[in-house]
Structure 1
Amino acid sequence: MAFDFQVTQDSSDPHALADWWAETLGWEVEPTDEAFVRRMISEGYATDDDTKLHNGSLVWKEGAAIRHPEGLTRAPRVLFQLVPEAKTTKNRMHLDLRGVGDDPAALVDKLVARGATVLHEASQGPHHWTTLADPEGNEFCA
């Protein structure tokens, strides 16, 4: 039996990081049902402390998710979850962006302009890539 899965990324600011990755990948941030959040608070299942305002909308403080614009049949969901500690070591798993176009250097420049950091460049045979870090320091390759 094959499983569906989501990729979960620890984050100090899940909503900002979800916005960054949604723009980077050309994906969309999953909308939060504000009426549902307010109902959970009014029924005592949550409190105002479980929420925050992000881009003018009431959202769950603990996390945000992004999805491929064509739905989950194309790619797994990515969830960004709030954690209290900062990232301190190298990722054990990372994303490799594929299909980045004819000018990988232009993509790297665009990502750096948006807050990514170049960590190093590498190659193996005819394949070349750049390892970068997102605004929270999580490694990925382009």
Structure 2
Amino acid sequence: MAVHWKLVVDCADPLRLAAFWAAALEYENEDHSALIERLLAAGLVTEDAVTEADGRKVWRHAAAVRHPEDPVDAATGVGHGRRVLFQAVPEPKQGKNRLHMDLHFGPERRDAEVERLRQLGATVLGTVEEPGSNHVVMADPEGNEFCVQ
């Protein structure tokens, strides 16, 4: 049986990074507000664990994005498919990523998408042209590298 998984990204500002990646991937921000409200009402979490964004309660320490076509648990807002979770950690990013995402737009869209991602807050780090590959290396707003093909 295949394993259910999610990609977890350590970061300083989960809400900011989730907003960037939701726009970059054309994913949806997960809405955990119903779960948060239930946990607050039951006294299982306190108000200092949450904040507000876009008029709803969100976790301070984590935010997630999911593919818009994948199923979601209505009771928790957690996606059951392709998703990325951003979690706050105290230490800053150090060195090169050991794992990164490649975004495949195709040669006809690549340059326009690089510019769109730059407008969203990404930085162009360089272009790689080698036999069998031609891609742009970029960094998200917190410096996590990814490639655009």
- Normalising to structure 2: TM-score of the pair? 0.85
Contact 1:14 1:82 in 2 (8 A): yes
Match of 1:131 in 2: 137
Match of 1:20 in 2: 20
How many pairs align? Answer: 141
**Residue-by-residue CA offset, 1:94-125 (whole Å, 9 max, x unaligned):** 00001346131121112112211111110221
Q: Does 1:107 align with 2:106?
A: no
Percent of paired sites with the same residue: 40
Q: Does 1:46 align with 2:45?
A: yes
Which ranges in structure 2 are unaligned for 5 or more consecutive residues?
Answer: 72-78
Contact 1:68 1:74 in 2 (8 A): no
Using the alignment, how far apart are the partners of 2:80 and 2:59 within structure 1? Answer: 26
- Normalising to structure 1: TM-score of the pair? 0.89
Superposition CA RMSD, Å: 2.0
Using the alignment, how far apart are the partners of 1:103 and 1:54 within structure 2? Answer: 32
Using the alignment, how far apart are the partners of 1:70 and 1:5 within structure 2? Answer: 17
Match of 2:127 in 1: 121
Stretch deviating more after TM superposition (66-75 or 89-98): 66-75
Which ranges in structure 1 are unaligned for 5 or more consecutive residues?
Answer: none
Using the alignment, how far apart are the partners of 2:134 and 2:10 within structure 1? Answer: 28
Using the alignment, how far apart are the partners of 1:87 and 1:66 within structure 2? Answer: 21
